Chain A
Amino acid sequence: DSGVTQTPKHLITATGQRVTLRCSPRSGDLSVYWYQQSLDQGLQFLIQYYNGEERAKGNILERFSAQQFPDLHSELNLSSLELGDSALYFCASSVAGSGGFTGELFFGEGSRLTVL
């Protein structure tokens, strides 16, 4: 158990819909990262938050957004869903948020999204 909690574990929805994925980081970790794993794109970094503020963006679509709340949990919002958004979405956390080594990255169990 990495200490990173993600809900829901599985989600099935239809094209055009909107879903929210939730992540609670490990106790003491200030940074939250979202990654997407799909068969065709592999594992890709989407976005990072540090202590409530957006720190970096990766390959995140404009239809997707995220935020980190004062209690440090984070939500990833996916809207206008398409078939190609079906993937495993991982949240990860680390202690720090910028510069060099920011602490080991620990991954949650993931949220598997299926868009029909």
Chain B
Amino acid sequence: ELKVEQNPLFLSMQEGKNYTIYCNYSTTSDRLYWYRQDPGKSLESLFVLLSNGAVKQEGRLMASLDTKARLSTLHITAAVHDLSATYFCAVDKVGSRLTFGEGTQLTVNP
């Protein structure tokens, strides 16, 4: 059974600081997604990583995928309050039937 683990689950950080969220998964896959969810809202797609070594960046967020280590990271640079949300990684083993991590609740404090 595919398991996806994120850490940390809760992250409180100051504006302007950098931090990394980690996503480990238990079986081979080369497709990984990162989503953002605001409270009570839908899942917003941030990144789709489709191969080993893939790196994508959008604004202050950068995601990478190491399929050999079964690890993806979401790096936050110079955090701002607007980044406060819950971030999910999800592994696509077969045909977009995603297995999600528990989510990382990020709070960015002024």
Contacts and interface: CB of A to CB of B under 8 A. Distances in A.
Interface of A: 2, 31, 33, 35, 42-45, 48, 55-56, 58, 88, 90, 92, 94, 96-110, 112
B92 A101 contact: yes
A97 B95 contact: yes
Given A105-B33, A109-B41, A48 B102 contact: no
Given A42-B102, A43-B88, A48 B95 contact: yes
Interface string B15-41: 000000000000000010101000011
Contacts of A108: 42
Contacts of B43: 90, 92, 107
A103 B95 CA distance: 9
A104 B48 contact: yes
A56 to B, nearest CB: 5
15 contacts: A31-B95, A33-B96, A33-B97, A43-B88, A43-B90, A56-B94, A58-B97, A88-B40, A90-B43, A92-B96, A94-B96, A96-B95, A98-B95, A107-B35, A107-B45
A45 B99 contact: yes
B99 A101 contact: no
Contact of B42 (A58, A90, A97, A104): A90
A35 B42 CA distance: 12
Given A42-B100, A43-B88, A102 B95 contact: yes
B100 A43 contact: yes
B100 A48 contact: no
Q: Which 4 A-B pairs have the closest CB atoms?
A: A43-B100, A107-B43, A102-B96, A109-B42
Contacts of A112: 40
Nearest to A104: B48
A105 B95 contact: no
B88 A106 contact: no
B50 interface: yes
Nearest to A31: B96
Given A101-B92, A104-B48, A105-B33, A45 B42 contact: no
